[in-house]
Amino acid sequence: MSLRVLNPNAEVLNKSAALHMTINAAKGLQDVLKTNLGPKGTIKMLVGGAGDIKLTKDGNTLLKEMQIQNPTAIMIARTAVAQDDASGDGTTSTVLFIGELMKQSERYIDEGMHPRVLVDGFDIAKRAILEFIEKFKTHVTVGETPDAEILKMVARTTLRTKLYESLADQLTDIVVNAVLCVRKPDEPIDLFMVEIMHMRHKFDVDTRLVEGLVLDHGSRHPDMKRRVENCHILTCNVSLEYEKSEVNAGFFYSNAEQREKMVAAERRQVDDRVRKIIELKNKVCSGNDNNFVVINQKGIDPPSLDLLARAGIVALRRAKRRNMERLVLACGGEAVNSVDDLTPDCLGWAGLVYEHVLGEEKYTFVENVKNPHSCTILIKGPNDHTIAQIKDAVRDGLRSVKNTIEDEAVILGAGAFEVAASQHLVNNVKKTVQGRAQLGVQAFADALLVVPKTLAENSGLDTQDVIIALTGEHDKGFIVGLNQHTGDPIDPLMEGIFDNYSVKRQIINSGPVIASQLLLVDEVIRAGRNMRKPS
Q: Which residues are catalytic?
A: 58, 91-92, 396
Binding other proteins by CB under 8 A: which of 12, 35, 169, 423? Answer: 35
358 near other proteins, rule: CB under 8 A = yes
Nearest-angstrom CA–CA distance, 384 and 309: 35
244 near other proteins, rule: CB under 8 A = yes
Minimum separation from the CB atom of position 67 to other proteins (A): 8
Nearest-angstrom CA–CA distance, 58 and 184: 30
283 near other proteins, rule: CB under 8 A = no
241 near other proteins, rule: CB under 8 A = yes
Nearest-angstrom CA–CA distance, 133 and 167: 32
Minimum separation from the CB atom of position 354 to other proteins (A): 19
* Residue among 411, 410, 425 nearest 471 (CA): 425
Exposure of 169 by Cβ count < 10 A (0-12 exposed, 13-18 middle, 19+ buried)?
Answer: middle
Nearest-angstrom CA–CA distance, 113 and 95: 24
Nearest-angstrom CA–CA distance, 42 and 482: 18
Q: Which residues contact 118 (CB under 8 A, 6 or more apart)?
A: 105, 108, 109, 439, 440, 443, 519
Of 167 and 421, which CB lies nearer to other proteins in the complex structure? 167
Angle at 207 between CA 41 and CA 142, to 5 degrees: 75
Q: Segment contacting other proteins (CB under 8 A): 101-109, 343-351, 388-396, 435-443?
A: 388-396
**For strand 489-490 and strand 313-316, is the pairing parallel, antiparallel, or unpaired?**
unpaired
Of 58 and 106, which CB lies nearer to other proteins in the complex structure? 58
256 near other proteins, rule: CB under 8 A = yes
Q: Segment contacting other proteins (CB under 8 A): 122-130, 163-171, 279-287, 449-457?
A: 163-171
Nearest-angstrom CA–CA distance, 197 and 366: 13
324 near other proteins, rule: CB under 8 A = no
226 near other proteins, rule: CB under 8 A = no
Q: Segment contacting other proteins (CB under 8 A): 41-49, 224-232, 264-272, 285-293?
A: 41-49
Binding other proteins by CB under 8 A: which of 1, 5, 47, 494? Answer: 47
Strand partners, 256: none
**For strand 489-490 and strand 213-215, is the pairing parallel, antiparallel, or unpaired?**
unpaired
Binding other proteins by CB under 8 A: which of 169, 301, 325, 488? Answer: 301
Q: Is residue 49 helix, strand or coil? A: coil
Q: In what order do the strands lie in the sheet with 375-381?
A: 194-200, 375-381, 208-210
Q: Which residues contact 332 (CB under 8 A, 6 or more apart)?
A: 347, 348, 349, 369, 370, 371
Of 17 and 53, which CB lies nearer to other proteins in the complex structure? 53
Q: Segment contacting other proteins (CB under 8 A): 37-45, 398-406, 407-415, 438-446?
A: 37-45
The CB density around residue 228, as the number of other CB atoms within 10 Å, is: 20
Minimum separation from the CB atom of position 390 to other proteins (A): 6
494 near other proteins, rule: CB under 8 A = no
Q: Segment contacting other proteins (CB under 8 A): 133-141, 180-188, 195-203, 403-411?
A: 195-203
Positions that interact with other proteins (CB under 8 A): 35, 39-53, 55, 57, 63-64, 68, 74, 77-78, 81, 163-165, 167, 200-201, 203-204, 216-217, 220, 239, 241-244, 246, 248-251, 256, 299, 301-302, 317-318, 320-321, 358-361, 381-386, 389-390, 393
